[in-house]
């Protein structure tokens, strides 16, 4: 290769090396900028929802969570006297296992509360083994006394059978079922009196096939006690009128006899739109309940249940434990003792509760679609609950009303 060749070859090489240098510089700058952008974006993405709230959890700021005016427990050393309680048939074991796992994974694996299973028939060894394996707390299996799962002596069973036949023709949901009525009466008036429940002050009712959509990062029973709550719910809804035709008239008779049980700060405006003239059918959906057992065990509710039981509507109609519990809570409790859990995420067929607030949903790792949230929809009583109690609704709730 001659000198000339070299020179000729050198020339473009020099030019190209300057060009390369520029390209490399631009390249490096681009890579640096891109990396910075990605880092910034990633940071933004990871901390996005915190950044607006200065790194705080919604549980730190009393006025951020809806409804406000609650505090989240801090000292979690000692357990409350509390248990889950599930009324269930032995044969429904495998509809129940998923529900237990949800509750354990989302909450109880960190708190190890006991679980009580109740039934009118003996539980099988399989039921006991499977549930014992799933629950991190102690498990207890209670047999319901025969007298609490049958017709009281004053009930006319012929009339009951006629009512069931009528309701079957009218296709009223569960209207033709005898066992459903025993169940509703038991959940209304007996579960909290079962001897397996004696050692507890608090309960959380769990049914087969339910789901919890979110992590619960605080001791929910401690939350109830520290905030003076007696009754907590996730979903509220209107009852089918045909199942409770005379429940309100019967309740009014009770209130005339015992006006002293009406709490001065009651929530009548949640269950009646005409100052007690009629029932608006709003009730807390009782397949989920977290509550204080002493409320049901107390004088007001005990008398109320006996009065309803004497009237016979659990059998002559199809009174549900949900409207019965809800009316009692609304009348006999201080309205501030009733809490809407808007941060758990819950499913019982066919309705979902799913926090529409991104902060709550992300922080609690909720695995649910906020567009399916029932809370703010028409057939729910959620809007009414927030309105009558003057509670702040979550941002964006209006986008979820229909
Ligand atoms: N031991 C026992 N438990 C029952 C019986 N009927 C219902 N239950 C329980 O009572 C609760 C309510 O019954 P469900 O059948 O779930 O009634 P529901 O929630 O109104 O209706 P779906 O869940 O939609 O079927 C559940 O915890 C059931 O396991 C029964 O005959 N015996
Ligand atoms: C409730 O009571 C009122 C007044 O006593 C009566 O007019 C009405 O028909 C009753 N309602 C039902 C559903 O029985
Ligand atoms: Mg159910």
Residue 86 Cα: closest atom of ligand 1: 27
Both tokens of 345, joined, read: 């995420």
> In this predicted structure, what is the pLDDT of residue 70?
85
Q: What is the pLDDT of residues 233-242, one digit of tens each?
A: 999 999 999 9
Return the ligand number nearest the Cα of 242. Answer: 2
| Beta carbons of 359 and 58 less than 8 angstroms apart | yes
Q: Is 242 in the pocket of ligand 2 (CB under 6 A)?
A: no
289 catalytic, yes or no? yes
Sheet of 139-143, strands arranged across:
139-143, 114-119, 82-87, 202-205, 289-292, 231-233, 338-340
Coil/strand/helix, residue 232:
strand
Q: pLDDT tens digits for the chain (402 residues)?
A: 344 444 444 444 455 566 777 778 887 888 777 766 665 554 444 444 443 444 567 777 554 455 557 888 876 778 999 999 999 999 999 999 999 999 999 999 999 999 999 999 999 999 999 999 999 999 999 999 999 999 999 999 999 999 999 999 999 999 999 999 999 999 999 999 999 999 999 999 999 999 999 999 999 999 999 999 999 999 999 999 999 999 999 999 999 999 999 999 999 999 999 999 999 999 999 999 999 999 999 999 999 999 999 999 999 999 999 999 999 999 999 999 999 999 999 999 999 999 999 989 999 999 999 999 999 999 999 999 999 999 989 888 999 998
Q: Name the residue at shortest CA distance from atom 12 of ligand 2.
A: 246
Q: How many residues does the chain have?
A: 402
Per the rule left: phi > 0, alpha: psi between -120 and 50, beta: everything else, 209 is left
- The Å distance, Cα 178 to ligand 1 centre, comes to 12
Q: Is 272 in the pocket of ligand 1 (CB under 6 A)?
A: no
**Residue of 289, 317, 337, 363 with catalytic role:** 289
- CA 245 to ligand 2: nearest atom: 13
Q: How far is the CA of 187 from the centre of ligand 1 (A)?
A: 10
Regarding the beta carbon of 358 and ligand 1, being less than 6 Å apart is answered no
What is d(CA 339, CA 70) in angstroms, rounded to the nearest whole number?
9
> From the CA of 154, how far away is ligand 3's center (Å)?
29
Closest Cα partner for 324 from 359, 284, 292? 284
**Which ligand has the nearest atom to the CA of 253?**
2
Find the largest Cα–Cα distance for the chain. Answer: 123
**Angstrom distance (rounded) from CA 249 to CA 251:** 5
The rounded mean pLDDT for the chain is 90
Beta carbon of 96 within 6 Å of any ligand 1 atom: no
Question: Does pTM top 0.85 for this prediction?
Answer: yes
Q: What is the pLDDT of residues 338-368, one digit of tens each?
A: 999 999 999 999 999 999 999 899 999 999 9
The finding on whether 216 has its CB within 6 A of some atom of ligand 1 is no
Task: Summarize pLDDT for 88-103 with one digit per residue, the tens.
Answer: 999 999 999 999 999 9
CA of 107 to the centre of ligand 2 (A): 46
Query: Measured between alpha carbons, how far is 84 from 140 in angstroms, rounded to an integer?
Result: 10
What is the pLDDT at residue 124?
A: 98
Cα 234 to Cα 285: distance, rounded to the nearest angstrom: 8
CA distance 183 to 87: 8
According to the model, what pLDDT value does residue 20 have? 77
Per-residue tokens: 306: 């006996």
Show Cβ contacts of residue 286 under 8 Å, excluding neighbours closer than 6 positions: 187, 205, 233, 320, 321, 322, 325, 326
Q: Position of tokens 């002293």?
A: 260
At residue 16, the pLDDT reads 57
- Number of neighbours of residue 58 by Cβ within 10 angstroms: 19
Pocket test for ligand 2, best of 249, 252, 254, 311 (most atoms within 8 A of CB): 249
């Amino acid at each position: 290769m001659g000198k000339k060749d070299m020179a000729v070859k050198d020339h473009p090489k020099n030019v190209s090396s300057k060009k390369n240098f520029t390209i490399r510089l631009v390249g490096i700058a681009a890579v640096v900028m891109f990396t910075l952008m990605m880092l910034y974006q990633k940071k933004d993405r990871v901390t996005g929802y915190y950044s607006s709230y200065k790194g705080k959890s919604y549980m730190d700021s009393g006025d951020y969570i809806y409804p406000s005016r609650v505090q989240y427990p801090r000292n979690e050393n000692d357990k409350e006297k509390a248990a889950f309680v599930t009324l269930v048939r032995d044969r429904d074991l495998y509809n129940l296992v998923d529900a237990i796992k949800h509750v354990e994974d989302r909450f109880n694996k960190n708190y190890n509360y006991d679980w009580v299973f109740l039934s009118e028939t003996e539980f099988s060894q399989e039921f006991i083994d499977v549930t014992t394996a799933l629950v991190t707390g102690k498990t207890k299996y209670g047999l319901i006394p025969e007298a609490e799962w049958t017709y009281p002596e004053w009930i006319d069973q012929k009339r009951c059978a006629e009512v069931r036949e009528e309701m079957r023709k009218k296709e009223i949901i569960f209207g033709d079922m005898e066992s459903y009525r025993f169940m509703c009466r038991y959940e209304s008036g007996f579960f909290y009196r079962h001897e397996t429940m004696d050692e507890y002050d608090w309960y959380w009712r769990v049914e087969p096939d339910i789901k919890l959509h979110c992590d619960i990062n605080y001791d929910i029973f401690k939350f109830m006690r520290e905030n003076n709550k007696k009754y907590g719910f996730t979903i509220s809804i209107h009852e089918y009128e045909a199942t409770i035709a005379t429940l309100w008239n019967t309740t009014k008779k009770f209130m005339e006899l015992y006006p002293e049980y009406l709490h001065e700060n009651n929530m009548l405006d949640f269950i009646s739109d005409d100052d007690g003239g009629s029932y608006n059918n709003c009730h807390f959906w009782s397949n989920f309940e977290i509550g204080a057992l002493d409320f049901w065990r107390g004088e007001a509710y005990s008398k109320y249940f006996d009065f309803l039981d004497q009237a016979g509507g659990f059998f002559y109609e199809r009174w549900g434990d949900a409207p019965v519990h809800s009316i009692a809570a609304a009348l006999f409790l201080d309205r501030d003792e009733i809490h809407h859990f808007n941060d758990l995420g819950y499913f019982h067929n066919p309705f979902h509760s799913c926090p529409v607030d991104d902060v709550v949903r992300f922080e609690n790792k909720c695995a649910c679609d906020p567009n399916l949230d029932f809370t703010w929809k028409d057939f729910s009583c959620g809007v009414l609950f927030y309105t009558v109690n003057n509670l702040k609704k979550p941002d964006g709730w209006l986008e979820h009303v229909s």
